[in-house]
């Protein structure tokens, strides 16, 4: 067998160079463990099944099958079913960004939207700037695109965009092309942080000046528990001359309706739309017409807007329950910022404890979380961890944190006594 560095063990194929260095998602691996009886998972960002409007979706599905089956079961338009695009434009506009349905491409989850943007803009070696830490599956997608990743630190107010200009300048001076900045501005995955309005405006000014496209990924914006709404970048672009053509917006029905529908959407400047549609044709022809028609009917029924307040309440209660349990059971052994919404709390174990080591014991104690190292494009911080409060009930979150505390007890190496 030829040994060209691309063959793996006994596999007789040469995998593409794109596969080099792309790690399996530790979260997908942990999901298997989370299925074990009695295990409480704070690992995945799985929406609470209690938020699924089964009855509403059933009505919508029945209606679609009875009244528009020939459209819903047929091949469809690559940019999306018109009825759904209309509803998604309304939904996006309700978030402060008055968009036209013609600027929307429906995607197979927002994950495909991330891939689409990468395929549109990135040649191997091009630079993408991401937050530190960043969403793991975006890092995987960017690795598949063979991008070179650079990072800006994130703090309680989101990415430190004041560092971006100098970073872009330095990368430019080194001869590399910076093509994309990727940010999750609301209740980020994994950091839980929300980018302040000032930073959003500054980010827009920087990308206009440096001529770099920025994509905001916003799966969680509707799930605000505390604090005040901050408009998306595409809305704030109206305040920054030239910004409208340098930013796009991605969102999804996964976290507010159901991830099983696999429906997301991307809002792009007019000059990118034709290319985006050509690209998507080559990826999957179009997203499921069936789920698009169901989602369109569902959104038109007004049930989502009616249910959002109770969905927000459910996540706020869990958000509070997790933070309270951490204070109660771990106290000053852990540091974290309370997220203003979303599904994730990002924490750091004090005393340089390694979160992967804690995870080994946590699994035995009956809980799982994701060690933070998975979310770093560079120089992982081994003491960080991501705790999701989305899936478990408040009482279960408390039990999970008690188990985490026991796992931490077992992980901490007692100080060595020096002989003599």
Interface residue with ligand PLP, options 80, 219, 248, 339 (CB under 6 A): 219
The vertex-133 CA angle with 253 and 378, nearest 5°, equals 130
Which CB, 110 or 289, lies closer to ligand PLP? 110
> SS3 helix, strand, coil % of the chain, rounded to 5?
50, 15, 35
| Min dist. Cβ of residue 340 to ligand PLP (A) | 16
252 binds ligand PLP (CB under 6 A): yes
Segment near ligand PLP (CB under 6 A), from 105-113, 234-242, 287-295, 392-400? 105-113
User: Is the CB of 60 or the CB of 106 nearer to ligand PLP?
Assistant: 106
Q: State yes or no: residue 80 binds ligand PLP (CB under 6 A).
A: no
How far apart, in Å, are the Cα atoms of 110 and each of 114, 117, 210, 218?
Answer: 6, 11, 26, 9
Q: Is 419 exposed, middle or buried (0-12, 13-18, 19+ CB in 10 A)?
A: exposed
Which residue in the set 78, 151, 189, 292 belongs to the binding site for ligand PLP (CB under 6 A)?
189
Q: Give the number of other Cβ atoms within 10 Å of residue 148's Cβ.
A: 16
Under the binding rule (CB under 6 A), the answer on residue 217 touching ligand PLP is: yes
Contact segment (CB under 6 A) with ligand PLP among 104-112, 222-230, 231-239, 320-328 equals: 104-112
CB 213 within 8 A of CB 183: no
- Determine contact, residues 185/233, Cβ cutoff 8 Å: yes
Q: Binding ligand PLP by CB under 6 A: which of 232, 259, 339, 372?
A: 259
What is the rounded distance in angstroms from the CA atom of residue 389 to the CA atom of residue 45?
A: 8
Contact 204, 246 (CB under 8 A): yes
- Residues 292-317 as b/e (b if ≥16 CB within 10 A, e otherwise) read bbbbbbbbbeebbeeeeeebbebbbe
Size of the site for ligand PLP (CB under 6 A): 13
Closest CA to 363 of 31, 105, 11, 54: 31
Q: How far is the CB of 359 from ligand PLP (least distance, A)?
A: 20
Work out the angle at residue 120's Cα, subtended by the Cα atoms of residues 114 and 125, and round it to the nearest 5 degrees. Answer: 90
Q: In whole angstroms, what is the distance from residue 198 CA to residue 157 CA?
A: 10
Structure letter (DSSP) for residue 179: E
Interface pattern 273-312 for ligand PLP (x via CB under 6 A)? ----------------------------------------
Q: Are 72 and 46 in contact (CB under 8 A)?
A: no
* Region from 9-17, 73-81, 252-260, 296-304 binding ligand PLP, contact rule CB under 6 A: 252-260
Report residue 361 as tokens.
Answer: 């014991």
User: Whole-angstrom Cα distance, residue 75 to residue 86?
Assistant: 19
Nearer to ligand PLP, 44 or 394 (CB): 44
From residue 33 to residue 62, what is the string marking binding to ligand PLP with x (rule CB under 6 A)? ------------x-----------------
By CB under 6 A, tell whether 111 contacts ligand PLP.
Answer: yes
Work out how close the CB of 74 gets to ligand PLP at its nearest, in angstroms, rounded to a whole number: 24
Query: Of 103-111, 168-176, 279-287, 328-336, which segment contacts ligand PLP by CB under 6 A?
Result: 103-111
Using CB positions, name the residue nearest to ligand PLP: 109
- Which ranges of 285-302 would DSSP assign to H, the alpha helix? 289-300
If the CB atoms of residues 111 and 319 are measured against ligand PLP, the closer one turns out to be: 111
Could you give the 3-state DSSP secondary structure of residue 97?
coil
Segment interacting with ligand PLP (CB under 6 A) among 12-20, 108-116, 150-158, 373-381: 108-116
Q: Which stretch binds ligand PLP (CB under 6 A): 109-117, 272-280, 303-311, 330-338?
A: 109-117
d(CA 205, CA 286): 34
The pattern of x and - marking residues 127 through 156 that bind ligand PLP according to CB under 6 A reads --------x---------------------
**Binding residues vs ligand PLP (CB under 6 A):** 45, 109-111, 135, 184, 189, 217, 219, 252, 254, 259, 264
């Amino acid at each position: 067998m030829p040994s060209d560095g691309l063959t793996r063990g006994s596999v007789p194929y040469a995998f593409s160079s794109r596969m080099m260095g792309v790690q399996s998602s530790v979260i997908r691996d942990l999901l298997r463990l989370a299925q074990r009886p009695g295990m409480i998972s704070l690992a995945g960002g799985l929406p609470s099944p209690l938020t699924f409007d089964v009855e509403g979706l059933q009505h919508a599905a029945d209606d679609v099958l009875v009244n528009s089956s020939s459209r819903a079961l047929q091949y469809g338009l690559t940019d999306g079913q018109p009825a759904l695009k209309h509803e998604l434009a309304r939904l996006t506009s309700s978030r402060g960004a008055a968009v036209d349905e013609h600027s929307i491409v429906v995607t197979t989850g927002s994950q495909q939207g991330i891939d689409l943007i990468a395929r549109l803009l990135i040649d191997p070696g091009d630079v993408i700037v991401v937050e530190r830490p960043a969403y793991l599956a975006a890092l995987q997608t960017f690795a598949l695109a063979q991008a070179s990743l650079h990072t800006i630190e994130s703090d309680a107010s989101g990415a430190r965009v004041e560092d971006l200009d100098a970073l872009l300048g330095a990368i430019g001076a080194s001869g590399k092309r910076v093509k994309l900045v990727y940010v999750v501005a609301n209740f980020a995955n994994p950091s839980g942080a929300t980018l302040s309005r000032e930073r959003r405006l500054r980010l827009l000014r920087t990308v206009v000046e440096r001529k770099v496209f920025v994509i905001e990924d916003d799966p969680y914006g509707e799930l605000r528990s505390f604090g005040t709404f901050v408009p998306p970048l595409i809305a704030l672009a109206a305040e920054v001359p030239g910004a409208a053509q340098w930013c796009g917006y991605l969102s999804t029905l996964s976290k507010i309706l159901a991830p099983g529908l696999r429906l997301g959407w991307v809002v792009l400047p007019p000059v990118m739309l034709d290319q985006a549609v050509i690209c998507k044709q080559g990826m999957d022809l179009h997203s499921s017409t069936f789920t698009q028609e169901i989602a369109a009917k569902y959104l038109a029924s007004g049930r989502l807007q009616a249910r959002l307040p109770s969905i927000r309440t459910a996540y706020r209660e869990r958000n509070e329950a997790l933070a309270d349990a951490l204070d109660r059971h771990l106290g000053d052994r852990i540091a974290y910022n309370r997220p203003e919404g979303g599904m994730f709390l990002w924490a750091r174990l004090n005393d340089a404890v390694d979160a992967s080591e804690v995870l080994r014991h946590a699994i035995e104690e009956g809980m799982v979380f994701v060690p933070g190292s998975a979310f770093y494009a560079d120089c992982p911080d081994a003491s960080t961890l991501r705790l999701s409060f989305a899936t478990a009930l408040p009482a279960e979150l408390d039990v999970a944190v008690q188990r985490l505390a026991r796992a931490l007890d077992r992980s901490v190496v007692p100080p060595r006594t020096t002989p003599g």
